[in-house]
């Protein structure tokens, strides 16, 4: 169960990592593995909203139908963003900041490349200076919840707390409130989407998976497998009907090394950029601090029929389920794998 051990490893990693920062926070942020409690005024924000009444199922309980557009159940996307326009590549890294993030940030800076960083609250309070640095470097700061718990297993109040505490700590460090959030494991349904929307957030899934998280597994994808996946995306660039929006991580050294090795080839054939830039939406609720557009590809796309520079991002038709690029469906875990993974992760959290 590769996914499960990766998740457990992440949990342990988070738990034993010492607090090394001297940063003084104004707020008292959550400690421990949860469940989180929201500020009362945050609950007010959803009290008038029309929130889908889907059940909070137990971790190992599979729904018998998909009435609520549950991504973990059948990759239902609903209103979630998940792709970029043809010719664009949305570059995202999850689970940071971590002690290997500076290696990634240095590389991105050296190629003037901006990325979207889906950060975990529990890691932000360990590495606040890295969040400030990433923001100052021009990356798009986004939310990956506080505790990395599967969101469809949380109550409405817990979902509010996971999103709003992470938003608040990012606002305290950077002065800006992210609009984008990525649910851990992609686990989201209409109830979670409705709560996110009522709080002013937009959910972001992906249409391509590097499988980089398997690089730290004894029997997962090898470097060669991940490199071959990149090579395929590069080869497909001229014929692809939609752009990529890929899943990557900056929590382990091998995942960062893999990104550094493979990004130059992607940059050569796609306009690699942030999620906000590729979908044409603001990164932050304050609306400012829009990311500086990344450089256009240095070759090839302009010589093919892919009209990179003439595709105008249109926020209104991004992320509609009918346009899904489902070529990577076979790469995803089956629902039963996900159920097992989520339940074992929860057990791991329980014992910590």
Ligand X SMILES: *[C@@H]1O[C@H](CO)[C@@H](O)[C@H](O)[C@H]1NC(C)=O
Residue 61 touching ligand X (CB under 6 A): yes
Pairwise CA distance, residues 123 & 243, whole Å: 30
Pairwise CA distance, residues 151 & 191, whole Å: 10
Residue 326 touching ligand X (CB under 6 A): yes
Among 8, 14, 70, 143, binds ligand X (CB under 6 A): 70
The answer to whether the CB of 23 falls within 8 A of the CB of 142 is: no
The answer to whether the CB of 100 falls within 8 A of the CB of 89 is: no
Catalytic annotation present for 325: no
Minimal CB distance residue for Zn ion: 94
Residue 94 touching Zn ion (CB under 5 A): yes
Which uninterrupted H or E stretch holds 61? none
Residue 328 touching ligand X (CB under 6 A): no
Pairwise CA distance, residues 324 & 77, whole Å: 9
Residue 95 touching Zn ion (CB under 5 A): yes
Nearest approach in angstroms of CB 247 to ligand X is 18
Pairwise CA distance, residues 281 & 179, whole Å: 9
Catalytic annotation present for 94: yes
Chain position carrying tokens 């509010």: 160
Which partner from the list ligand X, Zn ion, none does 94 bind, CB cut-off 5 to 8 Å by kind?
A: Zn ion
Enumerate residues 165-184 that contact Zn ion by CB under 5 A: 184
Among 32, 55, 175, 200, binds ligand X (CB under 6 A): 55
Pairwise CA distance, residues 192 & 194, whole Å: 5
Which is the catalytic residue, given 94, 187, 212, 277? 94
Residue 239 touching ligand X (CB under 6 A): yes
Which is the catalytic residue, given 148, 212, 249, 250? 249
Q: How far is CA 280 from the centre of its chain?
A: 17
Nearest approach in angstroms of CB 54 to ligand X is 5
Q: What are residue 181's phi and psi, to 5 degrees?
A: -135, 150
Chain position carrying tokens 């044409």: 280
Contacts to ligand X by CB under 6 A: 50, 54-55, 57, 61-63, 68, 70, 72-73, 152, 189, 235-236, 239, 326, 335, 338-339, 342
Which residues are designated catalytic? 94, 249
Contacts to Zn ion by CB under 5 A: 94-95, 184
């Amino acid at each position: 169960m590769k996914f499960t051990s990766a998740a457990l490893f992440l949990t342990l990693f988070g738990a034993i990592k010492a607090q090394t920062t001297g940063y003084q926070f104004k707020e008292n942020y959550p400690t421990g593995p949860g469940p989180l409690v929201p500020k009362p005024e945050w609950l007010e924000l959803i009290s008038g909203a029309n929130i889908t009444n889907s059940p909070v199922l137990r971790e190992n309980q599979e729904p018998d139908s998909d009435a609520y557009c549950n991504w973990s159940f059948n990759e239902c996307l609903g209103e979630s963003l998940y792709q970029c326009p043809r010719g664009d590549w949305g570059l995202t890294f999850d689970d940071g900041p971590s002690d290997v993030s500076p290696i990634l940030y240095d590389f991105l800076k050296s190629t003037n490349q901006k990325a979207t960083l889906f950060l975990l609250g529990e890691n932000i309070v360990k590495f606040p200076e890295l969040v400030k640095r990433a923001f100052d470097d021009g990356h798009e700061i986004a939310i990956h919840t506080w505790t990395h718990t599967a969101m469809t297993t949380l109550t409405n109040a817990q979902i509010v707390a996971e999103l709003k505490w992470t938003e608040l700590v990012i606002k305290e460090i950077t002065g800006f409130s992210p609009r984008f959030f990525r649910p851990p494991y992609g686990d989201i349904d209409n109830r979670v989407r409705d709560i996110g929307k009522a709080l002013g957030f937009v959910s972001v899934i992906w249409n391509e998976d590097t499988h980089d998280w398997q690089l730290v597994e004894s029997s997962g994808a090898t470097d060669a497998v991940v490199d071959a996946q990149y090579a395929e995306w590069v080869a497909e660039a001229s014929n692809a009907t939609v752009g990529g929006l890929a899943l990557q991580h900056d929590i382990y050294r091998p995942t960062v090394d893999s990104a550094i090795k493979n990004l130059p080839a992607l940059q050569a054939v796609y306009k690699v950029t942030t999620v906000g830039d590729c979908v044409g939406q603001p990164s932050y609720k304050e609306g400012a601090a829009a990311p500086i557009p990344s450089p256009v590809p240095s070759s090839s796309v302009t010589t093919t029929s892919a009209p990179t520079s003439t595709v105008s991002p249109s926020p209104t038709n991004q992320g509609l389920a009918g346009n899904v690029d489902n070529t990577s469906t076979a790469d995803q875990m089956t629902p039963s794998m996900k159920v097992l993974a989520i339940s074992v992760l929860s057990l791991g959290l329980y014992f910590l």
